[in-house]
């Protein structure tokens, strides 16, 4: 269906096209947006982390110093890739905007990745520089000789806090909690030393075009192989503006609900994840909003303490996070009188979670839908008075959707099929993988999501199922092949299969079926083996031993049969 099908179906005040609000938006780069935000909101708070706040002017000054360091103390050139492997710290926006100001391509990387996962991503992207947390320096040391990385910048979690708090926090992490392992990386420059070397200089403005790649965002996509989605400046700016257009919505009295420069957003989801990236590094930045960075959302008590001082107006999270907060006795004592909106994405929202959240905060959770390949936002329940639970809302402006059958034929309203997307936010393609790119695009330019969906007569979209075997654990893509490859390395395993099963806490969890080769092995040993080689969210939650696995005539393990067995048990 053409994008015009959804005209008039969005909240009051939301335009039907970006062109109605933003002239020549397709020519803008992230640098253009950042410069405008700094000029308009310079003295307003931009990011708060570990109790310290930086203004937009501070971010401008620090990122300029970082860009100048990259340009004058390294041989990096525009287009080279720099990986950022960091939790939600104040250093993240400084590094991001500094790297972009130097004309580099950012590769977002999960700091909890194992050495094997890091090595794959860094080699595939051709990363030449890495900014990493000292807590993971041992893994960097392990993989460095096998990469093309020439420049290392290491940071402690409190590096941008003022002294003496900086010394106290970094010292406690290193010496009391012993969270910083021993490692030897003599070529590594500290983050603050890089800022010092670049301070006072004016970075050169590189020639950056809107069609240039800004971010390589790695995803398993729809085919299960880790690939870098090439997100251009135009893609990310378009998606930012598409979400921003929904901030134009009006209340019953005809007043704008959202006020630029006066919003306070909680940022608990990792900034290296595209969902959080677009929310806090793009949309919030462009509107002069204040972002409260949560470095460790699993420490719910400190999480709540971090948001209590602020009149929080917006919250972005996932089902797992909402449940953890609501289960803490202090959360209900927070002041929600300023809260206007709560967004959920990345994994399915459970109805009970939405109901409890509304009872505690007084605000509905609006569920949305997106993919890394779409920068990521495709749909959302953005209108507070039009939230339809069980759906992911309507598409953002200038986005066309259609549902197709197995033969590629478009299906009518109300019928299930594969959801396809077309819009300015859709990626340029997969990094150095032309065949994989061709597989996910139709001949006439539609992106095939690999998800089964239904579009109703009002234009609301419901995601029914995933076509592939991908498992979504707390919003993260988990791929059975990767888990099976790791488990198959265990000397007691003959064969195995991984599937996703419903889980009240994480949306889905991995259930692993194992056939042993006769050697004694326990579920605990299998899980321990996985923890050595996989990021935490990929580790199976359940291990089931069997004498055999269902096979096709050609010897392929039939995961669908295993899923059917689980459904029958339920």
Distances (CA, A) of 195 to 43, 59, 104, 165: 21, 12, 17, 19
Number of domains in the chain: 1
Residue 89 lies in a domain: no
Residue 548 lies in a domain: yes
User: How buried is 326 (Cβ within 10 angstroms: 0-12 exposed, 13-18 middle, 19+ buried)?
Assistant: middle
List the beta strands (DSSP E) in 326-457.
341-344, 365-370, 377-380, 394-395, 400-404, 417-422, 429-430, 447-455
Say what the pLDDT of residue 270 is. 93
Order of strands, edge to edge, in the sheet holding 290-293?
Answer: 52-55, 45-49, 290-293, 264-267, 314-317, 341-344, 365-370, 377-380, 394-395
Euclidean distance between CA atoms 14 and 147, whole angstroms? 47
Q: What is the longest distance spanned by two Cα atoms in the chain?
A: 72
Which 3 state secondary structure label does DSSP give 377? strand
Whichever domain contains 477, its CATH number is: 3.30.300.30
Say what the pLDDT of residue 465 is. 66
CA-CA-CA-CA torsion sign (63, 64, 67, 68):
negative
Say what the pLDDT of residue 556 is. 66
Q: Which of these, 344, 345, 339, lies nearest to 361 by C-alpha position?
A: 339
Residue 544 lies in a domain: yes
Along the 570 residues of the chain, how does pLDDT read in single tens digits?
A: 899 999 999 989 999 999 888 888 899 999 999 999 999 999 999 999 999 999 999 999 999 999 999 999 999 999 999 999 999 999 999 999 999 999 999 999 999 898 998 999 999 999 999 999 999 999 999 999 999 999 999 999 999 999 999 999 999 999 999 999 999 999 999 999 999 999 999 999 999 999 999 999 998 544 456 899 999 999 999 999 999 999 889 888 888 888 889 999 999 999 999 999 999 999 999 999 999 999 999 999 999 999 999 999 999 998 879 989 999 999 999 999 999 999 998 777 878 889 999 999 999 999 999 999 999 999 999 887 788 988 999 999 999 999 999 899 999 999 989 999 999 999 999 999 999 999 999 999 999 999 889 999 999 999 876 677 789 899 887 888 789 889 988 999 988 999 999 999 999 999 999 999 899 999 999 999 999 999 999 999 999 999 999 975 445 678 888 998 998 887
Which phi and psi angles does 404 have, rounded to 5°?
-120, 160
Query: How many other C-beta atoms are found inside a 10 Å radius of the C-beta of residue 196?
Result: 13
User: How buried is 95 (Cβ within 10 angstroms: 0-12 exposed, 13-18 middle, 19+ buried)?
Assistant: buried
Say what the pLDDT of residue 485 is. 82
Quick one: DSSP state of residue 410? B
User: How buried is 193 (Cβ within 10 angstroms: 0-12 exposed, 13-18 middle, 19+ buried)?
Assistant: middle
Residue 409 lies in a domain: no
CB–CB of 364/356 below 8 Å?
A: no
Which 3 state secondary structure label does DSSP give 315? strand
Residue 252 lies in a domain: no
Q: Is the bond into 35 cis (omega within 30 degrees of 0)? A: no
Report the predicted TM-score, pTM, of the whole model to 2 decimal places.
Answer: 0.86
| Tokens, residue 181 | 């392992």
Residue 498 lies in a domain: yes
Residue 76 lies in a domain: no
- Angle at alpha carbon of residue 67, lines to 39 and 70, rounded to 5°: 175
Residue 100 lies in a domain: no
User: In terms of residue numbers, what domain contains 530?
Assistant: 471-569
Instruction: Name residues whose C-beta falls within 8 Å of residue 257's C-beta, 6 or more positions apart in sequence.
Output: 247, 249, 250, 251, 340, 341, 384
Euclidean distance between CA atoms 570 and 564, whole angstroms? 10
CB–CB of 239/15 below 8 Å?
A: no
Euclidean distance between CA atoms 277 and 270, whole angstroms? 8
Euclidean distance between CA atoms 115 and 446, whole angstroms? 36
Which 3 state secondary structure label does DSSP give 399? coil
Alpha helix segments (H runs only) across 282-425: 284-286, 300-307, 319-326, 351-361
In the chain, the N- to C-terminal Cα span, in Å, equals: 37
Say what the pLDDT of residue 220 is. 56
């Amino acid at each position: 269906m053409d994008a015009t099908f959804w005209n008039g179906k969005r909240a009051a005040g939301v335009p039907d096209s970006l062109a109605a609000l933003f002239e020549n938006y397709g020519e803008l780069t992230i640098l253009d947006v950042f410069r405008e935000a700094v000029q308009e909101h310079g003295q307003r708070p931009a990011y708060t982390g570990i109790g310290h706040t930086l203004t937009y002017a501070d971010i401008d000054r620090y990122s300029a110093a970082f860009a100048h360091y990259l340009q004058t103390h390294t041989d990096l050139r525009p287009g080279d890739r720099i990986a950022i492997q960091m939790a939600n710290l104040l250093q993240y926006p400084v590094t991001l905007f500094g790297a972009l100001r130097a004309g580099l391509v950012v590769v977002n990387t999960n700091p909890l990745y194992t050495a094997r996962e890091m090595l794959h991503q860094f080699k595939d992207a051709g990363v030449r520089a890495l900014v990493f947390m000292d807590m993971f320096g041992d893994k960097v040391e392990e993989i460095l000789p096998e990469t093309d990385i020439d420049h290392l910048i290491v940071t402690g979690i409190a590096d941008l806090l003022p002294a003496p708090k900086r010394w106290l926090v970094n010292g406690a992490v290193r010496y009391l909690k012993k969270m910083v392992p021993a490692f030897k990386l003599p070529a590594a420059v500290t983050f603050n030393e890089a800022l010092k070397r670049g301070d006072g200089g004016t970075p050169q403005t590189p020639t950056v075009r809107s069609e240039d790649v800004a971010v390589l965002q790695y995803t398993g996509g729809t085919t299960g192989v880790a690939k870098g989605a090439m997100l251009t400046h135009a893609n990310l700016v378009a998606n930012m503006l598409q979400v921003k257009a929904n901030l134009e919505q009006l209340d019953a009295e005809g007043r704008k609900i959202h006020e630029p420069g006066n919003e306070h957003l909680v940022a608990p989801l990792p900034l290296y994840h595209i969902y959080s990236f677009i929310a806090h590094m793009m949309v919030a930045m462009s509107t002069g909003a204040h972002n409260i960075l949560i470095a460790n959302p699993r420490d719910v008590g400190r999480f709540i303490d971090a948001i209590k001082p602020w009149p929080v107006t917006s919250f972005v999270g996932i089902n797992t996070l909402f449940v953890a907060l609501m289960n803490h006795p202090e959360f209900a004592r927070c002041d929600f009188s300023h809260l206007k909106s709560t967004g959920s994405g990345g994994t399915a929202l459970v109805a009970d979670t939405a109901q409890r959240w509304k009872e505690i905060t007084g605000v509905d959770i609006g569920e949305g839908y997106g993919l890394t390949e779409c920068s990521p936002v495709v749909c959302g329940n953005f209108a507070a008075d039009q939230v339809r639970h069980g759906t992911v809302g309507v598409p953002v402006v200038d986005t066309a959707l259609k549902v197709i059958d197995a033969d590629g034929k478009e299906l009518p309203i109300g019928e299930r099929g594969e959801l396809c997307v077309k819009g300015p936010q859709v990626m340029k393609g997969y990094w150095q993988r032309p065949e994989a790119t061709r597989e996910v695009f139709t001949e006439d330019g539609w992106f095939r999501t690999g998800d089964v969906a239904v579009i109703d007569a009002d234009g609301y979209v419901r995601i029914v199922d995933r076509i592939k075997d991908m498992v979504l654990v707390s919003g993260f893509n988990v791929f059975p092949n990767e888990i099976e490859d790791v488990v198959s390395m265990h000397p007691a395993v003959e064969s195995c299969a991984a599937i996703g099963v419903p889980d009240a806490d994480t949306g889905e969890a991995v259930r692993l079926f194992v056939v042993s080769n006769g050697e004694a092995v326990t579920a605990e040993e299998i899980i321990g083996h996985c923890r050595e080689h996989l990021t935490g969210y990929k580790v199976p939650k359940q291990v089931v031993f069997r004498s055999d696995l269902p096979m096709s005539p050609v010897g392929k393990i039939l995961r669908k049969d295993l899923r059917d067995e689980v459904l029958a048990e339920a």
